[in-house]
Amino acid sequence: MKLVIASALVAVGILSSASAFASKEKDLATKSACMACHAVDKKLVGPAYQDVAKKYAGDKTAEAKLVEKVKKGGSGVWGPIPMPPNAAVKDEDIKTLVKWVLAGAK
């Protein structure tokens, strides 16, 4: 019984940590002004992050392509509205955000 309770507590701790981790990335996206045009699960000005994850699923070059696109901006992939460059966002933060998006952004 003690083992079951201990396992449950560990599982809750892991889930809480995963939730906090996702919240950290979402906070970074908000701080970096990404959430002004994007949402996790619905299209705003730009695509939903979950749609981006689906589009690039299995593409081994996706991370590098998206890091470049976020930094320099772009247009034409998701419609006619261009994404402005994000040169003021640190490269490390862009990479963190892209990994979060590609992982399904929750």
Binding-site positions for heme c read 34, 38, 83
pLDDT for the residue 2? 45
Q: Where are the domains of the chain?
A: 2-102
Listed in sequence order, the DSSP H helices in 2-90 are 2-31, 49-56, 62-72
Is the domain spanning 2-102 CATH 1.10.10.10? The answer is no
Look up the pTM and report it.
Answer: 0.77
Cα distances from 78 to residues 1, 19, 45, 56, in angstroms, run: 53, 29, 10, 13
Chunked in runs of 10, what are the mean pLDDT values of the chain (106 residues)?
A: 42 46 86 96 96 97 97 93 95 97 94
* Residue-level pLDDT at 23: 81
List the end-to-end C-alpha distance of the chain, in Å, as a whole number.
33
Binding residues: 34, 38, 83
